[in-house]
Each structure stands twice: as C-alpha cells, then as structure tokens.
Amino acid sequence: MNIKRLLAIPVMLLAVAATAKVVLPQLFQDGMVVQRNKPIPVWGKASAGEHIIVTLNKKACETTADADGRWRVDLPQMKAGGPFVLKVTGTEPTDGSARADGAEGVSELVVTDVLIGDVWLCSGQSNIDVTVERVYPWYTETIDGYENLGIRLFRVQNETDTHGMKDDIRPTSINWKPVTKHNAWHFSAVGYFLGKRMFEKSGVPQGIIVNSWGGTPIEAWVAADSLRQDYPLLVEKTRFYDNPEYVKAQMRANQQADQRWNALLNEKDPGLVMVDGTNRFTALDYDDAAWAEANQYASDWAFATDGTTATGAQPKKHPVVGSLWLRQHVTIDKAHAGKPARLLLGTLFDADYTYVNGRQVGVTYYQYPPRRYDVPEGLLREGDNVITVRFVNKCGVAHFIKEKPYLLAFGDDRFSLNPLPRDIVPLAETWKYHAGAEMPPCPSGDVSLQNLPATLYNAVVYPLAPYALSGVVWYQGESNTGNPAPYEAMLTKLVNGWRQLWQQPQLPFVVVQLANYMQPSEQPQESAWARVREAQRQVATKLPHVGLATAIDLGETVDIHPLRKRELADRIGRCFDKLVYKDKKSVQMPMLLTAKAGDGQAILTFDQPLRPGELQEFEVAGDDGRFQNVAATADGCRIVVSSSVDRVRWVRHAWKDNPIRLNAYSVEGLPVPPFEVAVDE
C-alpha cells in the first residue's frame, strides 16, 4: 500500500444524497478502516423491500431489506490497501411495487477514503480513557513529531440503555480522524500508542475504536441474559431505573442541588468578595500576614473545630466540606519575569481554582487530573508573586498528593516531565491558609446508569457488532476491587459473550492486568487488587486466544491513572503479535508453567529464561494458609522458592496492592505477572 498517496486524500464528510433513504450506522463514515483478510460486514436500514447493492474495491454484494427495513451484506475478504470508496445503492422493490415510504427512484450513500487494514477495539474504564494530553509530558518529542494518515481514530460516544439493545451509537466528534497531535489530543493514549506500534509492526492501515467509560464496573459491559443466569438479583438493580421519568427527575434534582450548593458556597465565601475587579484573597497586594502557616502534606489546615466541648476535653475536629484558601509567595528574578511558564501543582483533592497574581490560570473539577496550568506571558513580575489555590470539597479531606511535581517551569521544555524541565522554580511545601465557607454535604441521589448491569452492553457494545475486528483490548477492574470474587466469572462471560455477538469464536482478546497502586507493604497482605489481577490471569490462562499484558510495574503509588501508556501499549501489541500475526519471534511476557514441591522449597518453571539472581515479593503458605515472605532465586527458566514451611501448599508472587520491590523479569526485560498458584506434590 502507498501511504504517501493518502497525503493527497482529504478527510471528507459523509456524502448523502438529499433523497437517500438508505442509512448506515455511525461507524461507517469517511476515513473509516475496515478489517483485512476477513469478510467485511456492511449493514444498515432502508425502506422495506428495497434492493441494496454495496460495492468496495471492485467487489459487490446485494441483498433486499427485510420487512423492518434492515439489511446486511458480507463483502468478501480483501488485502490491506486503499483509499477506496464504499458505495451503498438502494433501488425500488424488485417486484415493481411502490416503495413503502412513497419515494421513487434510487438512493445512494458514498463513503470516501476507506482503508483496509487492522481494526482494534479498546474498551474498559478510565485507564483506557486517559488521553494523549494527559500523558504528553512523558512523550513530548514523540507526540509533537508524529503524524500518520494511515492510522484512524474513532471514539464511541458514552451512552446507556436500561431497556434493551440499541440499533446504533450516538454521533461522535472523533470519527475516524487520522493521527495528528491535534486529532489525538483528547483520544486514548493506549489506543494512540497501540495504533502507532501496530502500524510500525505491520505496515498496514490501523483503525482504533475506543469504547470506554471511567469508573464503570465490568457487569455494565456484560449482556443481561448472561448475567441473569448466575446473578439474577444483580440484574434486578437495572429494572429499578427502567423508568425514564424517574431518572430524568432524579438527574434534574441532582443538578439543581449541585447548582444551589455552589451558589450558597460562593455567597458565603469571603475570598470571592471582589476588590478592584479581583477576588479578594487572590490579589497580589492582599495582606495575608495574619493567615496561619501549614505544610501542604499535613492535614490540620483541612479540618475545622467542632462546637463547644466539655471543660478540659480535647476539641474534636472534622474535615471541611466547602472551600479553603491557600497562598504561597514566590520570588521571580529579572531573567524569568514576564516569561510564559507552566505551573505544576501535582494532583489535588478535590476541585481547585488556581490563580497567579489575581488572575485565574486554571480550574479542575475533580481529583484525578494532574494540575498543569499555563501562566501567560507578562503575568509573572520581577520580585514577589503569589499563587492562590481555592480548594472546593463536597466530601472527604482536602489535600495535596505526594510524589508529584510542584513547581514553575520555564523554557521550551517546560511541558516535559520525562525528564523534568531544566529551568524550574520549585514551590515550597509551606503555604498560608484561611478558611473559606463551610457547607453541609451536597444532597444527591445516585443515578449513575453507566454503573448498572448491562447498560453499556446495551448502548455501546451491541450496536458495534458485527463490525469486523482484528482484536479487543480489555483494561478494566479497578471498580471491581471492592468485590473481586465474581470477577473471573464476569470476565469469562464478557469474553465469551462478545465473541458470540461478533460471531467470531476465536476473536483475540488482550486483558490488561491491573497496575501497582497505593501504599507499598513489606508484609503479606490480603489484597483485593491482587485478587482481580489473579482473576485476569486465570481468564487469560483458561480461555483460548486471550493474552495477558501486565502493568504491574508501570503504576504509581499515588495515582490510579499511571502515565506510562506507551510501554503498556507495547506489551499489548506483543500479545497481538502472537495471537493475530502468529509471530513466533515476538518477545512475550514470562508465563508460569508448573509449580512443584521440593525438599523445603518450591520450584516454579516458566516458558522462558529469567534474569538470574535473588528475587523479592515472593510468599508461601503451608497447610494453615498463612502466607510469609520467603527467599527466591531465578536460574534459567526456573525460580526456586526456599522456605521453612514443612509443606509448601501455595506460592504467591507480587500479591500486594503495590508490590514495589518486584524484580522478577525475563531476560528480555518483561516482568513476571503476579500470580497465586497451588504447588503440586
């Protein structure tokens, strides 16, 4: 295929004749990528009895719309190439009768710039959602310099349905856009890097469909009929919300409550009093000498004292719900005065409004996004400057997240975090703080339909089939760590159910094993995160054509959304090398084959050589089921686990929320995924 030829092809809007009655799903738009080397399903709607002819790349199929106006053809499989034109033509019923809608003649749809290559569906929760913009500081040079019209991006618009399966998805703003920095900026970083990697691997067009929703549990993505077999009460939860009037009323009430809460907060907040056109507490010349000092990592500034207490009793405190103000003075020298800068404020809980010298430079409405605010040219002055942060919390305790950068960055490399910019002014940990307005919790009723069983399967999975795919990436599980026991069964239902829906019993899946997260522990712990990881490994072990891409060493202690998505995409791609491309030379993650008992030890055998030496994060348990840390050594394809336990029954590896000392790697540098295994006698 001649990729250079694509540069001359503009991405055009779908051309639809004014009289057209033929309708295609949202997936069929200009710039689309269809799957090579497989039959290509094309389907849609028309008038009942209408004769449909579909042509692509000199291949044609025809059919007749049924009584409901539905039609489908399967074009023959084709080699990679393009661009081509997909044409769908509808004509009057072949028996000569009038069309049911009274229209006459021919209707036609034309989809241009169609590529034939590999199509990948990336689905799950927020770690698939994490955008190129979010990870940009880690990969500035790559993202700045990369464009490829042979990679097309499609983002499924979020939607739910409690009633049943939808016919189609909603229109979306990212609809088969070619890869440029602009087009990819708000697209999935995992999807972006996967497309780049697989294009470099195969040299053929790549289509990346991202279908994800942050915070959603796995049961939302599984068909109701499948769940009903084993979890009937779970499915009943959805029926409670199967009343549009109730849902609308509750959502309207929540919105009104939120608006009223914010209005009352702003009315009470003394820092929002306007003085000379500036919020009082944000002005550079505001006298904050009387404000108390606090370390940003202490918690005292985020608490308020309760009412009167008994004489001699220790005053009780409670977290402030409402607003809190913090100010920090920063001295800027003549060389940096007036220059544009980037203010990094790590990650904050929960919402923040941030100001520099009285001007608002950024706002973030919830805890997860990193605070990276651009300070415009001319705002910083020589000498004293002030940064003001207004925290707004509706629950929990306001706080700064440790292990994140807090600084002002200057220069052309100020957007980079890998490495950090060369020219920086660090912020101090000490701030001055002042109370804002304290509020009662904001009332709300939960109508998060996206978290209910089957609602996402109905609305955004079912309508995508039978669009031909090369493989599926599933990155989800964080929202099921509260109850990990059913996860293996749920994931099995999801894989089998999607394969049945797509009528591809061998549809390749790659499951991402959850990243390390939260505070490390030196001692064994019963980790729900580890339970979900083991469920993911078991599904990849038991089901055919399922790969496992572990992220166990790519996480962050303080961030549930780690940034190293390029490395993760590479591991996902390696799985597809094996599952899809049948590449025997592709380096894979080391996988456990056997675990056998020895004399006071257990011997673990892997499918490839490991880096030799002493290993961390291994545990064993005997008949009592109580795990203890043990020594382990890698030698060739084996790990020997030594123990004082008389009879080793179980071995665990990296069985913690955050097994930060993990050092079991293949010779090629890929980590041994976490596991729990029974030892054979």
- Among 98-112, 489-503, 541-555, which stretch is predicted with the lowest mean pLDDT? 98-112
Q: Tell me the average pLDDT across 218-239.
A: 93
SS3 of residue 675 by DSSP: strand
Q: How confident is the model at residue 80 (pLDDT cuts 50, 70, 90)?
A: very high
pLDDT band at 112 (very low <50, low <70, confident <90, very high): very high
pLDDT at 565 over 80: yes
- List the single range of 50-64, 68-82, 525-539, 587-601 with lowest mean pLDDT: 587-601
Tell whether the model's pLDDT for residue 632 goes beyond 90. yes
> What is the structure's pLDDT at 435?
95
**At 681, is the pLDDT very low, low, confident or very high (cuts 50, 70, 90)?**
confident
Q: What is the pLDDT of residue 576?
A: 98
Q: Can you tell me the distance from the alpha carbon of 571 to that of 512, in angstroms, rounded to the nearest whole number?
A: 9
Q: Is the pLDDT confidence value at 288 over 90?
A: yes
Asked if 42 and 33 count as a contact pair (C-beta separation under 8 A), the reply is: no
Question: From CA 260, how far away is CA 275, in angstroms rounded?
Answer: 25
- So what's the pLDDT on residue 474? 98
Express each pLDDT in 19-39 by its tens digit.
Answer: 448 999 999 999 999 999 999
Three-state secondary structure readout of 155-177: ECCCCCCCCCCCCCCCCCCCEEE
- pLDDT band for position 312 (50/70/90)? low
β-sheet bridge partners, residue 475: 124
- 100-114, 623-637, 659-673: which range is least confident on average? 100-114
Distance, CA of 662 to CA of 618 (rounded, Å): 9
CB-based contact 208:473 (threshold 8 Å): no
Give me the percent of the chain exceeding a pLDDT of 90: 88
Decide: 235 and 227 in contact? Cβ < 8 Å: yes
pLDDT band per the 50, 70, 90 thresholds, residue 18 = very low
DSSP β-bridge partners for residue 372: 344
Q: Is the pLDDT of residue 17 over 50?
A: no
Average pLDDT over residues 166-188: 97
Top pLDDT among 242 and 415 is at: 415
Cis peptide before 350 (omega within 30 of 0): yes
Inform me whether the pLDDT recorded for 7 exceeds 60. no
187 token code pair: 């697209």
User: According to the model, what pLDDT value does residue 19 have?
Assistant: 43
β-partners of residue 349 are 399
* pLDDT, position 311: 63
Q: What is the mean pLDDT of residues 457-474?
A: 98
Mean pLDDT across the stretch 576-588?
96
Q: What pLDDT is recorded for position 308?
A: 59
DSSP string for residues in 483-500: S-TTHHHHHHHHHHHHHH
Q: What percent of the chain has pLDDT over 70?
A: 94
Q: Is the pLDDT of residue 13 over 80?
A: no
Q: How confident is the model at residue 9 (pLDDT cuts 50, 70, 90)?
A: very low
Q: Is the pLDDT of residue 530 over 50?
A: yes
Confidence at 647, pLDDT banded by 50, 70, 90: confident
Q: How many angstroms separate the CA atoms of 189 and 167, rounded?
A: 28
CA distance 273 to 269: 8
Task: State phi, psi for 626 to the nearest 5 degrees.
Answer: -95, 120
Mean pLDDT on 154-177: 96
Nearest to 500 by CA among 534, 532, 457, 450: 457
pLDDT tens profile 244-261: 899 999 999 999 999 999
Kindly compute the dihedral angle of the four CA atoms of residues 533, 534, 539, 544, in this order, to the nearest 10 degrees.
100
pLDDT in tens, 539-556: 999 999 999 999 999 999
For residues 237 and 224, the answer to whether their CB atoms sit within 8 Å is no
Q: What is the mean pLDDT of the chain?
A: 93
Instruction: Tell me whether residue 474 is exposed, middle or buried, using C-beta atoms within 10 angstroms of its C-beta: 0 to 12, 13 to 18, 19 or more.
Output: buried
In this model, does residue 161 exceed pLDDT 50? yes
Q: How far apart are CA 344 and CA 417, in angstroms?
A: 10
pLDDT at residue number 346: 96
Mean pLDDT of 337-364: 97
CB atoms closer than 10 angstroms to residue 524: 17
Write down the pLDDT at residue 462. Answer: 98
Task: From 522, 538, 552, 524, select the one nearest 621 (Cα to Cα).
Answer: 524
